[in-house]
Amino acid sequence: MSTEEKDSGQQKSPEQLREEIKETREELGDTVEALAEKADVKAQAKDRLSVVKETAQQKKDEFVAKAKDAAPDSASAGAQQVTSTVQRNPMPFTIAGAVAAGVLIGWLLRRK
């Protein structure tokens, strides 16, 4: 009961009580859902990993564009060679990226 209802001495009708219970249940359901989302560490890690991947891809693209603009032809040839090496044998670079992402996620999770 609210303070006004206590002071006025009025009682709520059964319909008002049902409506209040319904609203309270909905609020409680929303609260439980929000808590479950916060407690889902695996989903949070996946979300952070996807953000890290997107950011890394954007940074890589920016870096490549800047390097192409600023680099002389010989450096461009070297970059082309590195790119073709990565395309031929991507596993070491994939592993290095995964390790870097894991370290970053571990660091982010420990900060909280």
- Express each pLDDT in 9-25 by its tens digit: 578 899 999 999 999 99
- Express each pLDDT in 58-98 by its tens digit: 988 888 888 777 656 676 677 788 888 878 887 887 888 88
In whole angstroms, what is the distance from residue 63 CA to residue 54 CA? 14
What is the mean pLDDT of the segment spanning 22-34? 93
Q: How does residue 1 score in pLDDT terms, banded at 50, 70 and 90?
A: very low
**103 φ, ψ (degrees, to nearest 5):** -65, -45
Task: Spell out the SS3 assignment of the chain.
Answer: CCHHHHHHCCCCCHHHHHHHHHHHHHHHHHHHHHHHHHHCHHHHHHHHHHHHHHHHHHHHHHHHHHHHHHCCHHHHHHHHHHHHHHHHCCHHHHHHHHHHHHHHHHHHHHHC
Q: How does residue 31 score in pLDDT terms, banded at 50, 70 and 90?
A: very high
In whole angstroms, what is the distance from residue 93 CA to residue 82 CA? 11
In whole angstroms, what is the distance from residue 109 CA to residue 105 CA? 6
Pick the closest to residue 21 from 29, 32, 11 (CA basis): 29
Residue spans of the domains in the chain: they are 3-38, 41-111
